[in-house]
Structure 1
Amino acid sequence: MNKKNIDIRVVFFFAILLLIGIIASIVQFFNHVDCEDVKFYIFSDHSQSDESIEFYDRTQNAKSWKWDFGDGSVPDVRRHTFHVYKKPGKFMVTLTINGDCTHTQELILNDKYAADKLGTPKIIAPKVITVGQPAYFKSISNKAKTWEWAFGENRGIDETSANPVYTFSTPGEKTITLVINGDFSTVAKKIIYVHPKVIKKTNPLDVTSYEYEKKAEAFSLPRGSVKKDPLEDMLQYVPVAPKTKTVKDSINIAKKAPKISEDQFEILLNKVAEGSKIKDDFSEYLCDDLDIPVVKNDTDLLTFSQLCAAIKGKKIKIESIRLNKDKQNNYVKGLNISYKVKKYLIWSKD
């Protein structure tokens, strides 16, 4: 009887050990991080020193993070963080995930103040500017290809040439602004004062020396009752011409899409796959056209709406993405993407 009880206990003991081992294997499997699939992103507007740079990790099953920014600063342990580099140069950013997987990416930053010195144009304006008289302006910049001048009298752009000529219609203090190459980070400003127009006093008119061509009696009306002007009846039947479009009415203000990088676009697509984003969230970047052409894996041609429907609810790994943007309005008009889908622990082309 005792022998039988001992055997049952041994069996239960090994069964419990086996169950614990299976549970541990399952937990380890689902918490495993593929070190070759570490994905973190660095976002920088101008790649300059003294600029807030964004760091973001999207590695699956990541539980802990350690950011080494490569400049001797204290490491950061958040998944999404920001960092400011005080000096320009080349930095090796290292991310350690779950204390095991390490990934390094190079970051090159330019000197902000040197970039401002080279990029910001200089405005040359006349010393004395008077209302009603043309004023000549000049832009000094080595890299300027386009110019957008605003002279402080109207809303919007007044001139688009390198050396414009402008006539002020009102006196007072004016702020001249100049944007080159469409880059609002390098805006030049200059404050000027426009003097009012001076009216010189002339000699009074000598009435006695004025000779009339006709006598005053020639301009008097004939006596009698007032007669109705025949033009008064005729003008009642003259059709009114329709209002013609002015130049201002015919100008269509082009809508510019907000800036988005390929890395940011990739993050949004991953969120579509996760279900936290939908295709309509891309409208502002696609100029409200959700049927732009998409080349998938270099073989298939489909629309952007079809792409979002194809990746929704799937685990995807985007290998490459290239945006075809409109240079004038900045919206995305085409997309090339290569990605894989995870099926039964195997990554394969969709």
Structure 2
Amino acid sequence: MTSIELRPLLRHGLLSALFCCAIALALTLAGHGPWDVQLVYSLAIGLVSWLVIDLGRMLLTGADCTGWPHGWRGLALIAVGTLAGFGVGGLVGDAYSGASQALWHHRAGPATLVITVVAGIAISFFFYSRAKAEHLQRHMAQAQHEATQARLKLLEAQLEPHMLFNTLANLRVLVASDPARAQAMLDHLIAYLRATLSASRATLHPLADEMDRLRDYLELMAVRMGPRLAYALEVPEALHAIPVPPLLLQPLVENAIRHGLEPQVEGGRITVRACTDANQRLVLEVCDTGAGLAAGAPATSSAPGRSFGLAQVRERLSTLYGDQGTIELIAQPAGGTCARVQFPYKSTNP
């Protein structure tokens, strides 16, 4: 047995009362009696019918997800509500008007019954249609949410092996050339994977956690590159709790190392910054002092070899934030590249 939902019950009652007022006005203009008498009859019949039908649909067992009984039960409920409204409401109207005989004995009784039946069916169909439309909207929203979650999980599932394979390839090189550093890198990898895999599989996590994972990854890369890699994470404490997608910046840092710093003998520096703009958007930047974009390439395009990481970030932003999530590559005047990510933010934890 379903519980009584007070808000939709009252909303339906108000709409029914307005519908009854319209009927009373029409009957008055048609010359069927004084306004006040028609109003009392109409409200009494209509509200009793509404109360029986609306309470009945909420209390009946077997109501479907639209909040209305299945099949013949729905039709029977409307019939019972209409007859109850005509009978009880008619008595109320008779008492108010001082009629000498009951409504169903009046000359206008049959016409009133027809109006009651037509009005009951019309208003019930209106409420049923609205309830069904709201149910379909909720169902579509839920399906869209589940599809979004599945898409994000797929993207994350693609991203994590990509990072792991690249790291293992680097580790393989060190095993032959520098076993001690290979051992240190393996230790960092185990710690990084333990921290990453033990974290909850949430769609969002605090920016502070994102920076912690990024620091672990950069320490991992620093074992292999040694003094050729320097980095800085510049994140104001006020932004630590802002929710961001997990592993959002790692592909950008990985690109900066692989395509910016590694081609240079001297290596370079990576700086990760976070700030907010006047439009309530979080701005994240991964800047390097590396080789820069390919000659002649537009500043906002992806350079060759960077497509996987950029495509991952761009698709995740699009899935979560739509057109409000953007990423662009900017060639820095002094050399190097800056990847800038922007999306709307909330100041609370996810």
Q: TM-score, normalised by structure 2?
A: 0.24
Q: Which of the two has higher C-alpha Rg?
A: 1
Q: Which has the higher contact order (CA 8 A, sep 6+)?
A: 2
Structure that is richer in strand per residue: 1
Structure that is richer in helix per residue: 2
